[in-house]
Structure 1
């Protein structure tokens, strides 16, 4: 696995020192409530006028965090008036926390603020020469990716977390149609999946090896295909003991597969194990599929997305009568350069490795960036966030490395008034364990984003409590439903929720809620955060006439 240099800012050794300091603090018995009692934090701004609503909220938070697993975890909360910046509640707001997917707030705000809502990605089919009169191409046909996150069948504009439209190959089919429409009938060379627009660095620093098997740990590539994911469906045979069958989507997504799944008795529990080594395009499937069982689906990260895209394109061309004499190969740019001390070296990237004056046979232009950002924040799509970060680096510094994107991000955050010492990020998605931010940094950025010309667009990309995205099933039938627009975050022992809220009394808030070192998983882990967020909506605000946000 390649290792990207940490742009920043402080070195990775310092990052882990901060994390160890937090762990040591907790090991000494400092829970969220004991920190409040010891005066390490304050539940209302020092010197601020007394507000009964703030006192009520503080009491609610103390009750929620004061027992069970919540008391053993480490909490950071900052609630401020969105427009004035007045701090209403502060618990460890200047301490570091792992943000998980709340890091996407930084990345997507950066993308909208630097690239603009109408920025588009181009994916092309290119040749080194014109076709001869018979439609023959002398040489290779290149599929050139430039960071488009939506080479898939996901519905754009966003229509729901799981909404799809047509086959996963539909964008590649569009390109194949375009090339055939230009008269292409034969390719003498190979199909080249050109991934060279970004330096080859599929896994950012701080990603855990165990995450790389799963869809949320899919490798980052300038030529991304189907979110760099593959779905495997297992169907039992007709009789007990018969071999099961498998089907993959995309169909050409996997390299070598050994399938040792047999059909088990009806009513038995399905048991399928996946054996896979990181970075190796080989898969072993073992286990049993019960007779009559209709749905066993396994979603995994693609190990070689460029190869999968190239193979899919080759099949699509052949289905349209285009003969491809060669095979499929992938071309990457060199990995990012670093100094002997591990610091990144930023160099201007070359154009994709096609001939000097390529003949473009077909082109796909993505939807506007705003639509891609909306998908990314609503569903918390890690790969897309990483692609945005690299696209920013490529556009602003001439190289699409993670380090370049983080350098632009640092300047962006300084302009937003976020102290450099409050943010340590090593990736764009928040999957990295090297990421640390303070709640104050998040709220500062949220308030800055709201004041920008693109601020309303940014807010529109966030999940809405009880309504859509990753908050669709959270805070339903509570006062917070429809009143909170916020980004969720969750990795092992980490939960987060940051964004905007409108209280029942009409006060507009920006907030960040972080929970680290939590033993709870899934819905159990997010329930405490939801209770704090609901209390915020119910109690804060000084207007006497309750009103619902329109």
Structure 2
């Protein structure tokens, strides 16, 4: 099978969506609505309750890490609620917990971890190069496994965990990306410039949707160019302006729109869009299929149509222009970064993660290029005491096969995101798909230990010959474990079976007693 087929999500098992052409990124939810993250948490919680062995999630295992808002005051137990007057009801039995509260500081039983993982990590379907790291969520000795060869592997989309954490660290969870219009002077009609702010989820209209069949619990609200055009038209008319020339400024990002470390056919074949600071529908064709060659121009043409419909005449055709020295006219904001990150991780959104990488570069050193972004990621990690361990990253999504990462780096980043000192990084944890229930793991974990679904949350990673998982597991004693499992020499004909073996390995962490 050609490599790009698997990277579009057509693995032998037909189940991975990390790099699905036309459906591996973005969302099917249209413009969404306010409180998308809250909806996501409620949905995930309901899913988790379906698994009896995961009742501990409801009992507060992750409250410390994943819930910054305290519960409202009120009775904690339904048995304490009195029935209405004159109503005779039987007493409510207090539910008996089926698992202990989570313990974040434990000592790993290295022999137990090895016993749990070995059978699956040595599965021939995973190939000759398999790496693993397991550690308590806080402190303690880690378990490391290398089947043979180097202690680095191609991470695929688990790279998005690192990108997301770095973006939240530099920008903060409440940061928004603004798309605006600016009016500049000149002879004849003034020039109106549409300025891209690097909003990864900017839509072509309030009703727009783009394709992904991946179930998602997080549906962040999205800005769109039609709303921006209407706001702009109202402001222009109020100032007596009814005719403009139209330009667009996408200069926020620098460098090539195609990563040199990607395969040469990625953009021509529609695996990923050109990465720009101004686009709609993540560079997809709003009225057709596939991706457009010039996302910035396409976005501007759609904005022009909406502007004309709102009563403003446009002279000539849209042209690249600078917004410097102009006066702001109108603007629309993206969802907060925390919600964007949750969506990126849950559905493994390639384009959005590459946009976040550019913003990382801008926030750290003012360089909104692929190179600037990755240099900034490395500086952020090192500033927070996280060693690269020889890891080398060239993009933000994990599409590049030149990326190399140690599983320990992924474990360190997840532990960083869970630490009490960094509540701004919580969306990294809340965005991890729940095994067997949400996002890119919705239709996985249906083969191995029954304790896996619901007890494991993990980011997937898939390229041809590569399968990986990185996330959190809760063992039978309620110990919180962080893990990263990687295999990058999988035979293409065994891709589906390798994915099952990787899922089974993660499931065993939920089914073991791995701490002392």
TM-score by length of 1: 0.66
- Tell me the distance in 2 between the aligned counterparts of 1:522 and 1:163: 28
Counterpart selection for 2:445 from 469, 472, 475: 475
1:58 to 114, 122, 128: 114
The answer for the alignment partner of 1:274 in structure 2 is none
Q: Distance in 1 between matches of 2:295 and 2:453?
A: 39
Label 1:226 to 1:163 Cα distance change in 2 as closer, same or farther (>3 A): farther
Alignment partner of 1:208 is 2:198 = no
Cα distance per residue 1:416-463 (max 9 Å; x no partner): 333244220111111112211111121122222211222433211211
Stretch of structure 1 that moved more, 59-68 or 373-382: 59-68
Structural mapping, 1:251-270, within 5 Å: 251=287
| Residue 387 of structure 2 corresponds to residue 422 of structure 1 | no
Is the Cα contact below 8 Å between 1:474 and 1:530 reproduced in 2?
yes
Q: Distance in 1 between matches of 2:273 and 2:184?
A: 31
Q: Which of 279, 291, 296 matches 1:301?
A: 291
Shift of 1:381: 0.9
SS of corresponding position for 2:293? coil
| Pairing partner for 1:361 from 315, 325, 329 | 329
Answer yes or no: is 1:529 the counterpart of 2:477: no
Equivalent residues in 2 for 1:360-439, closer than 5 Å:
360-439=328-407
How far apart are the structure 1 equivalents of 2:279 and 2:122?
46
Aligned residue in 2 for 1:105: 161
Quote the residue 2:226 is aligned against.
Answer: 173
Q: Once the 2 structures are TM-superposed, how far is the Cα of residue 226 of structure 1 from its aligned partner?
A: 0.4
User: Deviation of residue 113 (structure 1)?
Assistant: 1.0
CA deviations 1:98-129 (Å, max 9, x no partner) are 11111111110001111100111111011114
**Residue 292 of structure 2 is aligned to residue 320 of structure 1:** no
Do 1:380 and 1:470's aligned partners in 2 also have CA atoms closer than 8 Å? yes
Q: Tell me the SS of whatever aligns to 1:481.
A: helix
Q: Gapped runs of 5+ residues in structure 1?
A: 1-48, 131-135, 231-249, 254-298, 332-352, 544-550
Structure 2 stretches of 5 or more lacking a match?
A: 1-105
How do residues 64-79 of structure 1 correspond to structure 2 at under 5 angstroms? Answer: 64-70=120-126, 72-79=127-134
Q: Does 1:196 align with 2:165?
A: no
Larger strand percent = 1
Worse-matched range after superposition: 527-536 or 321-330: 321-330
Q: How far has the Cα of 1:307 moved from its partner?
A: 1.3
Q: State the shift of 1:214 in Å.
A: 4.9
Alignment partner of 2:298: what SS? helix
How far apart, in 1, do the equivalents of 2:451 and 2:225 lie? 45
Deviation at 1:210, TM superposition (A): 2.2
Mean CA deviation greater in 411-420 or 426-435? 411-420
Paired residue for 1:144? 195
The Cα shift of 1:165 comes to 10
Match of 1:125 in 2: 181
TM-superposed deviation, 1:314: 1.2
Shift of 1:229: 1.6
TM superposition shift of 1:50: 11
* Compared CA separation, residues 378 and 206, structure 1 to 2 (3 A): same
- Determine the C-alpha separation between the residues in 1 that align with 2:258 and 2:140: 37
For 2:83, the equivalent position in structure 1 comes to: none
Please give the TM-score of this superposition, normalised by the length of structure 2: 0.70
Instruction: Provide closer, same or farther for how the CA distance between residues 468 and 310 of structure 1 changes in structure 2, counting only shifts above 3 A.
Output: same
Task: Give the root-mean-square deviation of aligned CA atoms.
Answer: 2.9
User: Relative contact order: is structure 1 or structure 2 higher (C-alpha 8 Å, sep ≥ 6)?
Assistant: 2
State the secondary structure of the residue aligned to 1:61.
helix
1:511-538, Cα deviation, whole Å (9 max, x unpaired)? 1000101124664341111010011111
Q: Does structure 1 retain, via aligned residues, the 8 Å contact 2:436–2:445? A: yes
The alignment covers a number of residue pairs equal to 395
SS at match of 1:138: coil
How far did 1:373 drift? 0.7
The answer to whether residue 516 in structure 2 is matched with residue 460 in structure 1 is no
